[in-house]
Amino acid sequence: MRFGAWVGVVPFALYVLVFLGLPLYMVIHGALTTDAGHFTFSNFKATFDSPAYRSAFKNSVILSVWTSLVGAVFGVWLAAAVVAGRPGGMLRRIVSSASGVFAYFAGVPLAFAWVATLGAEGVVTVLLKDIGINLYAGSFTISSLLGVGLAYVYFQVPLMVILITPAVEGLRPQWQEAALGLGATKLRYLRHVAVPVLAPSVIGATLILFGNAFSAYATALALVGSTLNIVPAQIDDAINGNVLVNADRLGLALGVEMIIVIVVVMVCYWLVQQRARRWLQ
Amino acid sequence: MSFGSVGIAAADEVVGGPPPRPVTKARKERPRPWRIAIFVLAALYFLGPLASAFKFSLIQSNGRYGLGNYDQIIKNSAIRSALITSLEISAITAVLVVVLMLPTVVWVRLRLPKLTLMMEGVTLLPIVIPPVVMAAGLEELQSHAPEWVVKLLFNHPLSALTPFYVILALPFTYRALDNGVRAIDLHTLVDASRNLGASWRQTIIHVILPNVETAVLGAMFLTIALCLGEVVISSLLLYHTFPVALIQESLSGTAGISVALSIITLAFTFGLLFALSFLAGRRQRATSIRVI
């Protein structure tokens, strides 16, 4: 009986093993071997020694940090504003559906909306030029790190809304009533109740936002192609560009390093989440 | 910025309007400044680019306003064939993912509830592996696999992408289906069905499926949205799917068509998820779009 029960998950396990495990194995195996098939760490060492790859990591981290912080601040604010409205109302439906679209599925269309807005011929660019502000006077372009980051915020905020809404909903109105009843001001309630209760969830969600930006590539690919110096673009280049000898193994090593970064982020998320669960059941 | 102002008006209406009927002692709906501020900001930031994109898409290649770019979409055979490829991939992936996951979810709930935590972890794996790394792995597989595998899998975008899109869809579909199955009295349904002599296959198809159809539809909608939008893997492996065609079209100097297509894609995806929110409302448990 016990043994028979396992039969039911065999198809799933096999499927995941083949179609997820195999590509993953190829990445790790390729990153850890030489062309002759010998075990080596030299691919990793080469990625650490390369100034281009180091600055790609630096750029990716900077991009992910600031877009996740901005996304977190505005995401929490927007979620709180939406939750304060009528539950099950039209506003909630629209915000939640739109958040889903922007957060998970918009990559390429989003990039083109940005081109149409802030590109050299974009509507806002032209509008600003008409009133005497030239966006492109300085070093700003839509394909710079800043331009791509602004586009990233477009999916970071909605993802924050999706992630944090349940926690904001979990703030019980009774807590506020109790605090106010005991003579606290609104501000003291926020300072001593709402913020401490929400903090673990907000930190956790911000970590997810970081991972999300770190691994994202679709928007950058559509906006700039592989010339932007971030890690996913370097992997793209290493695989399809064939500029350097041995480049694809370096790309695989970069891939393993990306996975390690995300796993670390996820472990931190899991630890923070343990704390968040105490209050928000 | 016509769309932006419409958005603000709509937000104001919700904030400032009187509550339709005072159900229970719900929180009072007063227009509070901090709410209005974020709604205005959000409307500007989120609807502004959409409005800009719409205006941009109406500028034809001859410089005048009109629906020329939308007309071009229908006439452009490269885009049409890419769209058909992507729709085929979406449909097959959506069916495959349900066929694979529904019995698994039911089985785990019924017989191996101890595995729940492991299932949640495994179905999160696709998130830990960035799409670009998945693509790198597939590229590596393609160049090292025996010839029959290459012929079987990588010669056609349908067979090359579908199996891996099923993997990418796991985080969404597992949670959608698991929520659906949790909401029904699974043990009673299965016991009744089995006692009446139904096979496992019959039980899944005729008893469980009709009871979790909302969750199944939700899983399929999310999968379709995912497949229509996925660009990193298909682009790196050089398959001509819809988002790849979008990028190529813009590189060939006709950004107007790409922007017009982007608007249609966003509207379609929004339609899918908006419909989903109504489907979910029919039953108690919402079909969540949260993955983590």
Domain range list for chain A = 51-109+135-279
pLDDT of residue B281: 59
The tens digit of pLDDT for each residue in A65-78 reads 999 999 999 999 99
The tens digit of pLDDT for each residue in A100-119 reads 899 888 789 999 898 888 88
Give the residue-averaged pLDDT of A87-96.
Answer: 83
pLDDT of residue A280: 59
User: Which tokens belong to A263?
Assistant: 């796993």
**Which residues partner with B65 through β-bridges?**
B59
Interface of A with B in 231-260 (CB under 8 A): 232, 235-236, 239-240, 248, 251-252, 255-256, 258-259
Instruction: Please give the Cα distance from B189 to B186 (Å, whole number).
Output: 5
Partner-chain contact B139 A123, CB within 8 Å: no
Instruction: Please give the Cα distance from A43 to A256 (Å, whole number).
Output: 11
CATH number of A51-109+135-279: 1.10.3720.10
Whether residue B22 is contained in a domain is answered as no
A86: nearest CB among B29, B130, B229: B29
Instruction: Please give the Cα distance from B109 to B98 (Å, whole number).
Output: 16
Separation of CA A267 from chain center: 15
Burial of A186 per CB tally in 10 Å (0-12, 13-18, 19+) = exposed
B270: nearest CB among A6, A98, A232: A98
Interface of B with A in 195-224 (CB under 8 A): 222
pLDDT of residue A279: 64
Instruction: Please give the Cα distance from A193 to A203 (Å, whole number).
Output: 16
pLDDT of residue A244: 63
Interface of B with A in 41-60 (CB under 8 A): 41-42, 45-46, 48-53, 55-57
Give the pLDDT band (50/70/90) at residue A230: very high
Question: Domains in chain B: how many in total?
Answer: 1
Q: Is B115 in a helix, a strand, or coil?
A: helix
Q: Which residue of A has its CA nearest to B100?
A: A12
Q: Which residues of B touch A153 (CB under 8 A)?
A: 45
Q: Which long-range contacts (CB under 8 A, 24 or more apart) does A62-66 make?
A: A62/A145, A63/A145, A63/A148, A63/A149, A63/A152, A63/A213, A63/A230, A64/A210, A64/A211, A64/A213, A64/A214, A65/A210, A66/A149
Q: How far is B164 from chain A (nearest CA, A)?
A: 6
Q: Which residues of A touch B250 (CB under 8 A)?
A: 112, 115, 222
User: Which tokens belong to A206?
Assistant: 């911000």
The tens digit of pLDDT for each residue in A23-46 reads 999 999 999 998 888 898 988 998
Instruction: Please give the Cα distance from A102 to B96 (Å, whole number).
Output: 25
Give the residue-averaged pLDDT of A245-249.
Answer: 77
Q: Which residue of A has its CA nearest to B166?
A: A19
pLDDT of residue B7: 31
Query: If you count them, how many residues does chain A have?
Result: 281
pLDDT of residue B28: 52
Q: Which residues of A touch B101 (CB under 8 A)?
A: 12
Whether residue B31 is contained in a domain is answered as no
- What ranges in A1-144 are assigned the alpha helix state H? 2-7, 10-16, 22-31, 42-49, 51-83, 90-100, 107-118, 123-130
Partner-chain contact A15 B166, CB within 8 Å: yes
Partner-chain contact A217 B32, CB within 8 Å: no
Give the pLDDT band (50/70/90) at residue A245: low
Interface of A with B in 124-153 (CB under 8 A): 124, 153
Instruction: Please give the Cα distance from B257 to B259 (Å, whole number).
Output: 5
pLDDT of residue B13: 34
Domain CATH number, residue B106: 1.10.3720.10
Q: How far is B30 from chain A (nearest CA, A)?
A: 10
Give the pLDDT band (50/70/90) at residue A225: confident
**Which residues partner with B59 through β-bridges?**
B65
Partner-chain contact A12 B101, CB within 8 Å: yes
Structural domain including B249 reads 3-15+74-291
pLDDT of residue A281: 55
On whether any CB of chain B is under 8 Å from the CB of A101, the answer is yes
CB pairs under 8 A between A and B: 264
ipTM summary value: 0.88
Partner-chain contact B137 A215, CB within 8 Å: no
Q: Which residue of A has its CA nearest to B22?
A: A86
Q: What is the pLDDT along chain B (292 residues), one digit of tens a residue?
A: 333 333 333 333 333 344 444 444 445 556 688 888 999 999 999 999 999 999 988 888 777 888 888 888 888 888 889 999 999 999 999 999 999 999 999 999 998 988 888 898 899 889 889 999 999 999 989 888 888 888 888 888 889 999 999 999 999 899 889 988 988 888 999 999 999 999 988 999 999 999 888 889 989 999 999 999 999 999 999 999 999 998 888 887 778 888 898 999 999 999 988 888 887 655 544 555 677 6
pLDDT of residue A233: 92
User: Which tokens belong to A79?
Assistant: 């979620």
Separation of CA A90 from chain center: 27
B50: nearest CB among A113, A221, A232: A113
Query: Which amino acid makes up residue A89?
Result: G
Instruction: Please give the Cα distance from B261 to B269 (Å, whole number).
Output: 12
